[in-house]
Structure 1
């Protein structure tokens, strides 16, 4: 029995297909099939039922797969221990970032991080929160950056910064004359929202739910803040933006920004990772770099955190 064989078993269990598992494992399908077969012969038990499509896992196989995950993770932990003892920060590290954070945060820290830690092969993937959680659980991501709190049992959340909401209110809107916005003055019916699946959308909905009866009847939804701003400029409503998105607007559009009364509603952005804490030395280095570059960009101290999780 080898670690490689167990890794192949985990790949087949995940994809339920030998060909796909081989592609994901960067080996030929005959090589992977042969190694899985050798392990089954050695154990004298069938791990997979090949007569079904997709391939299913036998009852004994389910127990073997669960134990294989533990063994593979512990093998990876040994390498982590050695790297930390040597003070080595390097190797491949896969980071997922939610779409409403990626465009503003990534340019702020990426160059600093790769210059400081050139031996880290940082692989970055834009994913929504549900995908981040699933991929952290399956071991396809080492960490993620998402809006929190998520309160998921197997995930550790370490806040990076608190980003206030900012109103984008065109001249024709009813709130244009307000010096400062208040949550009580918001009306979900004239707020342009991101489409379903974005946690910032859920945060806006939750902010409005606290102050009014909510009915699910949005007229317009979009996948980008730029589109929402353009729609607002056409007189179709107002929208809310994260602070870092708002400050990047051109000067003409900045004239339409309205800030909230203190303390402003805000979202908590955290570095999240599995509680097994693999590659924790790289995770800590990443958090240190991000926190240091963001600290000077957001100066708000007292904020009211709005949960990204729907409160139905």
Structure 2
């Protein structure tokens, strides 16, 4: 039994297809199939039921895959331990970031990180929260940045910052005369939201569902980007909420349309998320430290009320 064989088993279990698994493992399909067959012969069992389409795990195969994940993770820990002992921070490091955080946070810390840790090959993917959770569980990401809490048993969360929601409204909106808003001020017009699948959208829905005056019928226009929502508001088509960091790059005319909420301000919690096996924890800590260093001065809010993305 080898670690390589276990890698192949995990790939087939994930993709449910020998050819696709071989492509992901950068080997030929006959090589992958032969190694899995050798493992099955050694154990005298069948890991996969090949008669089904797509391929499925046998009952004993389910148990083997669970154990294989543990073994592969623990094998990876050996190099992690050596790197930490040597004080070496480098190698490939895969990070997932949700779309509503990427355009604002990434430019703030990326240059600092790659200049400070030039030996780290940082691979960044923009993913939804659901995609991030799946990729973390399958070992395809080392960590991620997303709105929390996620309440995932096998994942750890380190809070990076709390980002308030800020209202963006047209100058003709009846609430524009106010210096600060209350949640109840959101009930008088359509609220423009990101499309389904964005956890930021879910956070806004959670804010508004706490307001007894708002019904589901108020949520009618949805878009894929904050820029589109801003343009719709400029045309007088409603009101939207923006994450605070996104408001920093607006021009002066657009900033005049922003309204903060009274304390405690509704906000989202943004965290570093990683598997509990804590592989590459020294790089995770380096990333956390770098982000904290640049965000601390950008967000001065203290009195916030956290809105769960769920």
**Residue 188 to residue 34, structure 1, CA distance change in 2 (3 Å):** farther
Residue in structure 2 matched with residue 44 of structure 1 by the alignment: 44
**Residue 216 to residue 234, structure 1, CA distance change in 2 (3 Å):** same
Q: Structure 2 CA distance, aligned partners of 1:188 and 1:76?
A: 55
Residue in structure 2 matched with residue 90 of structure 1 by the alignment: 90
Counterpart mapping for 1:1-312 below 5 A? 1-187=1-187, 189-217=189-217, 218-309=219-310
Unaligned runs of 5+ in 1: none
* TM-score, L = length of structure 2: 0.97
**Residue 127 to residue 188, structure 1, CA distance change in 2 (3 Å):** farther
Q: Structure 1 CA distance, aligned partners of 2:265 and 2:63?
A: 50
Q: CA shift at 1:215, angstroms?
A: 3.1
Mapped contact 1:194–1:221 kept (Cα < 8 A): yes
- Runs of at least 4 residues of structure 1 off by over 4 A? none
Unaligned runs of 5+ in 2: none
Q: CA shift at 1:262, angstroms?
A: 2.3
Q: CA shift at 1:188, angstroms?
A: 7.5
How big is each residue's C-alpha offset from its partner over 1:208-254, in whole Å with a ceiling of 9 and x where there is no partner? 11122543232200111000000001110111100111111112211
How big is each residue's C-alpha offset from its partner over 1:111-145, in whole Å with a ceiling of 9 and x where there is no partner? 11111111111110111111111111111111111
* TM-score, L = length of structure 1: 0.96
How many residues align? The count is 309
CA-atom RMSD in angstroms = 1.2
Q: Structure 2 CA distance, aligned partners of 1:57 and 1:174?
A: 60
How big is each residue's C-alpha offset from its partner over 1:37-68, in whole Å with a ceiling of 9 and x where there is no partner? 11112222211122221112122222211111
